[in-house]
Amino acid sequence: MRVVVLTGAGISAESGLSTFRDSGGLWDGHDPMQVATPEAYADDPALVQRFYDERRAALERVRPNAAHHALVRLEETLRDDLLVVTQNVDDLHERAGSRRVHHIHGRLRSAWCTTCGGRHEWDGPLGHEPPCPACDATTLRPDIVWFGEIPYGMDLVEQALAECDLFVSIGTSGVVYPAAAFVHWARGETLELNLEPSAGATDFARTLHGPATRLVPAWVEELLG
Ligand code: BJW
């Protein structure tokens, strides 16, 4: 059985990372357009770098939870027949042990040089304008896909969805495209696991609502029988 899992901020919420749109989330009371667009970065790079420097540093303080670990168990059985497509820029899937993970919105622990185009694993801050390890230019930006930019590896995702038997969406509000449309691109059965009905909940054949740390392990147990 070929399975594609899409994850969003909700899967990392119980690890202690804020979601975007929930009350108390990263954008609660803030305009995302002030930090998550190329225009915002051009206008005030220091503000945007600080936002991401703080979130990169926060990764040190959190750990994968039972939902991330359940997806690792699933991969141990399905192997190459499971693809985790994540909108998350954290590294909790990898730290749990998942190997087939694709980050369509980039990663906090990657820096992208806008001069030479190089991408570099990055753990520290970027706000102090460190030189690019490849070309020395001080033009490293967070390797994050902002609004208006093209998500990474969409060909791979489209193909996996067109060939899958089951598409499962976990912990995402379903308001950001193209991820919000994946349910329509999926060939197989569709299942939503989310704290509450997402904006696209009615497009799924089956929906289950509750915290990811409860729903995801239970669903994996059910699937592996
Ligand atoms: C739990 C839980 C628990 C909580 N257990 N669940 C008009 C119409 C259609 C589209 C557009 C339009 N105008 C513009 C667009 C396109 C635009 C877009 O979608 N805009 C919308 C806002 C309308 N999209 C883009 O620009 C994208 N690019 C693009 O489309 O390029 C064209 C193209 C596409 C394909 C091929 C070729 C070309 C780029 C989008 C980039 C989004 N980037 C961000 C910021 C990244 C940087 C950062 O991290 O700061 O990515 S936006 C932000 O939202 C972030 C997230 O990955 C993304 C999704 O958020 P997510 O994960 O859903 O989080 P929340 O907080 O919204 O929801 C959490 C959910 O979890 C909730 O439902 C909770 O209930 C639940 N939950 N606790 C289970 N314990």
Instruction: Say which CATH class 3-17+64-105+151-224 falls into.
Output: alpha beta
> Which neighbouring-strand residues pair with 170?
7, 193
Instruction: Say which CATH class 18-61+107-144 falls into.
Output: alpha beta
Q: Which residue ranges make up each domain of the chain?
A: 3-17+64-105+151-224, 18-61+107-144
For residue range 87-107, list pLDDT tens digits in order. Answer: 999 999 999 999 999 999 999
Contact 17, 90 (CB under 8 A): yes
Q: Hey, is 28 helix, strand or coil?
A: coil
Residue 37's φ and ψ, nearest 5 degrees, are -135, 155
How far is the C-alpha of 116 from the C-alpha of 113, rounded, in Å? 6
How far is the C-alpha of 217 from the C-alpha of 184, rounded, in Å? 25
Q: Which residues contact 110 (CB under 8 A, 6 or more apart)?
A: 119, 120, 121, 122, 143
Active site residues: 105
pLDDT band at 23 (very low <50, low <70, confident <90, very high): confident
Instruction: Give residue 30's pLDDT.
Output: 67
Residue 169's φ and ψ, nearest 5 degrees, are -105, 125
Instruction: Give residue 25's pLDDT.
Output: 74
Instruction: Give residue 29's pLDDT.
Output: 65
Looking from the CA of residue 35, the nearest atom of ligand 1 is: 50
- As a whole-number percent, the residues of the chain with pLDDT over 70 amount to 98
- Cα 118 from chain centroid (whole Å): 21
Do you find a cis peptide bond into 178, omega within 30 degrees of 0? yes
Q: Whose CA is nearest to atom 35 of ligand 1?
A: 178
Mutation choice for ligand 1 from 20, 59, 158, CB with most ligand atoms inside 8 A? 20
Q: Across residues 31-56, what is the average pLDDT? A: 89
Instruction: Give residue 157's pLDDT.
Output: 98
Note the pTM of the prediction, 2 decimals: 0.97
User: Does any ligand 1 atom lie closer than 6 A to the CB of residue 147?
Assistant: yes
Q: Whose CA is nearest to atom 11 of ligand 1?
A: 177
User: Which amino acid, residue 145?
Assistant: V
How far is the C-alpha of 162 from the C-alpha of 26, rounded, in Å? 33
127, with CB counted inside 10 A (0-12, 13-18, 19+), is middle
How high is the mean pLDDT of the chain?
Answer: 95
User: Does any ligand 1 atom lie closer than 6 A to the CB of residue 157?
Assistant: no
Q: At what angle do helices 212-224 and 66-78 cross, to 10 degrees?
A: 20
Alpha-helical segments (H) within 38-114? 38-43, 45-58, 66-78, 92-96
